A and B are shown apart, each in its own frame.
Chain A
Amino acid sequence: MTARLFDKVWDRHVVASPDGEPPLLYIDLHLVHEVTSPQAFEGLALAGRRVRRPDLTVATMDHDVPTTGLDPVTGDGVIADPLAAEQIARLRANCAQHGITLHGLGSSQQGIVHVIGPQLGLTQPGMTVVCGDSHTSTHGAFGALAFGIGTTEVEHVLATQTLRQAKPKAMAVTVEGELPAGSTAKDLVLGIIRALGVGGGAGSVIEYRGAAIRALTMEGRMTVCNMSIEGGARAGMIAPDDTTFAYLEGRPHAPKGAAFERALADWRSLATDDGAEFDKEIRVDASALRPAVTWGTTPAQSVSIDDVVPEPDSAATPAARQAAQRALTYMDLKPGTAIRDIAVDTIFIGSCTNGRLEDLRAAAAVIRGRKVHPGVRALVVPGSALVRAQAEQEGLDKDFAQAGFEWRSAGCSMCLGMNGDILAPGERSASTSNRNFEGRQGPGGRTHLVSPAVAAATAIAGHFAAPADL
């Protein structure tokens, strides 16, 4: 019997398969944050239930924490938004009550939940990882089965350390060829989503395969898996290999010494067997993927930076034509406009998609010695306090500051605009985040998704630009 990576991870987590009910799946790691957990903890309290495995539960604060105004090291200061302050206080109290490890404001390990899990070595091959956040798919880069859940499910995992899940289908996304110079993992995943459509992965777990995937760093693989949900797939996975193991070795929660060797033998056995078949497969040629820029209001609506805003009539179906027309109206764009001719107001470099050290390095390499275009507001928000500290050790903060970027503390920030870092109505951003939905970065704001390198070049040019244009 041949098995796929997904089957191998799934099968080893099935606790029970009661007749007529979805299987019960054991959860190895439950990540918790302030926004989707308060109602779950409240539900536990009302039912008089306890957290079954606080030792498999890790919390942080990211979604609505301020990225400015507090002491970046101690986290001391007053949170101006009383509602955010209340959510943060609740998380602190809930973690204290249930004995859950919390990397809160002022912790050197605080940060976006999907940045800190891997950074701490908590995310390992073959595990099941869940979080009340759809970008939990990020952790699949390690060969873990990782997916987002709702608040009722958060409560279920807190109480039982399991989830009821019908087994999804397995889809292969095979990316052969080599990315051209100047194209990044972000351009690759935007290309995949363009091919797949925003609902194409629904009901499936994606396994990303092929030479172009193997060639990615762990950071790049996380960027790809992160956006699986933008193609409708709840999870994306990449078979663990030497790149994975080298990343993990020495991390705080990775196994050590002989235990690491034993784990390695296990991790190596996870890859999809030769000849295993998938329920569905799509193929993408990496060599054709130029830097991508979204023009619409779904992540599937993107073109190459060399292209123009497409004609809605070119869309395949009436629904897609109607959606494209609506998107162009919202984005205030005319078909035929060259992408490079679109001017932006704001640059956001950060998020769980592109807020890791490698991303900040890529952006810094572009802006070093240059100045942000007059009138453009540019923000860098590191994905975690550790990313921020490491970037400062390398002097990246100074490069950004000298170029005219604001250098912020870690958090989700303008990725979803909960903490006051938002676009004004009508403002246009080039953003390294993952969603360009209407109003995602603030009511009336217009978001274009790009890679860190394109965001950086765009900051300097004042309109969409690739580093080579400068």
Chain B
Amino acid sequence: MSGLRQVIGRGVVVQRSDVDTDQIIPAAWLKRVERTGFGAGLFEAWRADPEFPLNQPGADRARVLLSGSNFGCGSSREHAVWALQDYGFQAVVAPSFADIFRGNAISSGLVPAQVTEEAAARLDAALAAAPDAEVVVDVAERTVSVGSGVIEPFELADYARWRLLEGLDDIGLTLRHEDEIAVFEQRRAAHLPSVSGSASG
């Protein structure tokens, strides 16, 4: 995963709250064993509607998705993040995110930019007035702007920001604590369950 300082591109607004991951990528797509190739399934059911924002001219060049509160609720499927990225999105701007989705996004390098309800409304309005305006999600500064008129701060935890900027591999970071993990394992209670490996079926 490479670092991401700024996302610059077209914005698309999907004005709904509680967008669940079943909508972002339907279950039928989860049979793939790769991390790629999910873009065609992004919002598959909603895209059947010609009015849907992703069916409007220029949407194929979109980099930033703007949506309603509790974005990414429901299933833990990281495939939802992969589908957004495979389509071309590098950031989602919303008033709030579901916990698991936010974690998955940061893991995979998709920026979850959390703005206030009021800021979201201003950003949406600016895009409605100028759909071709350039949207910039600045990870370093934690701001999102539409054209030159509107700029809003967003929330992103320091550690998440750092990981996104550096494109760090979390496992690599954790393995620096391998000694502490080993010490911890020595102290675990004896009654905790463990299973010996055996495959059946």
A residues with CB within 8 A of B: 15-16, 18, 20-22, 24, 26, 28-29, 35-36, 38-39, 42, 47, 49, 52, 54-56, 58, 61, 63-64, 75, 81, 83-84, 86-87, 90, 92, 95-96, 98-107, 109-110, 121-122, 124, 127, 132-134, 148-153, 155-156, 159-162, 164, 166, 168, 198-199, 202-203, 229, 232, 234, 253-255, 259-260, 262-263, 266, 298, 319-320, 322-323, 326, 416-418, 435, 437-440, 443-444
Contact = CB atoms under 8 A, between A and B. Distances in A.
B199 A202 contact: no
Interface size class, chain B: 35 or more
Given A87-B31, A156-B170, A417-B27, 8 more contacts: A99-B197, A102-B198, A102-B199, A134-B75, A149-B103, A152-B104, A199-B73, A416-B22
A92 B200 CA distance: 9
B129 interface: no
B35 to A, nearest CB: 5
B22 A439 contact: yes
Contacts of A16: 177, 180-181
A49 B170 CA distance: 13
Q: Which 8 A-B pairs have the closest CB atoms?
A: A104-B201, A99-B197, A152-B107, A150-B104, A199-B70, A83-B31, A150-B78, A38-B33
Contacts of A95: 197, 199
A259 B198 CA distance: 24
Interface stretch (B51-59, B83-91, B139-147, B184-192): B184-192
Interface string B72-86: 011111110100000
Contact of A26 (B22, B98, B103, B184): B184
Contacts of A435: 20, 22, 74-75
A36 B197 CA distance: 20
Interface in B143-189: 157-159, 169-171, 173-175, 177-178, 180-181, 184-185, 188-189
B155 to A, nearest CB: 12
B96 A15 contact: no
Interface string B18-29: 101011001110
Contact of A199 (B16, B31, B96): B96
B171 A155 contact: yes
Given A107-B200, A416-B27, A162 B181 contact: yes
A150 B103 contact: yes
A26 B99 contact: no
B18 A323 contact: yes
Contact of A232 (B32, B99, B190, B196): B99
B200 A15 contact: no
A259 to B, nearest CB: 5
B193 interface: yes
A405 to B, nearest CB: 24
Given A100-B197, A104-B199, A36 B100 contact: no
17 contacts: A15-B177, A28-B192, A38-B33, A104-B201, A107-B201, A124-B192, A134-B100, A149-B76, A150-B104, A161-B185, A162-B174, A164-B173, A234-B99, A255-B191, A319-B69, A322-B17, A417-B27
A152 B192 contact: no
Contacts, number: 231
Most buried by A among B75, B188, B191: B191
B45 interface: yes
B34 interface: yes
A75 B157 CA distance: 47
Given A198-B73, A298-B18, A150 B107 contact: yes
Interface of B: 16-18, 20, 22-23, 26-28, 30-35, 44-45, 68-70, 73-79, 81, 96, 98-100, 103-104, 107-108, 157-159, 169-171, 173-175, 177-178, 180-181, 184-185, 188-201
Given A24-B177, A259-B190, A101 B18 contact: no
A101 B100 contact: no
A253 B196 CA distance: 11
A422 B192 CA distance: 39
Contacts of B74: 134, 229, 435, 437
A231 B112 CA distance: 20
A127 B193 CA distance: 10
Contacts of B191: 124, 255, 259-260, 262-263, 266
Most buried by A among B35, B178, B194: B194
Nearest to A151: B78
A367 B77 CA distance: 36
Given A64-B31, A86-B33, A199-B96, A159 B175 contact: yes
Contacts of B180: 15-16, 24
B195 A58 contact: yes
A166 B70 CA distance: 19
Most buried by B among A103, A127, A232, A320: A232
A51 to B, nearest CB: 10
A156 B171 contact: yes
B17 to A, nearest CB: 5
A263 B191 CA distance: 6
B119 to A, nearest CB: 15
A160 B175 contact: yes
Contacts of A320: 17
Contacts of A96: 199
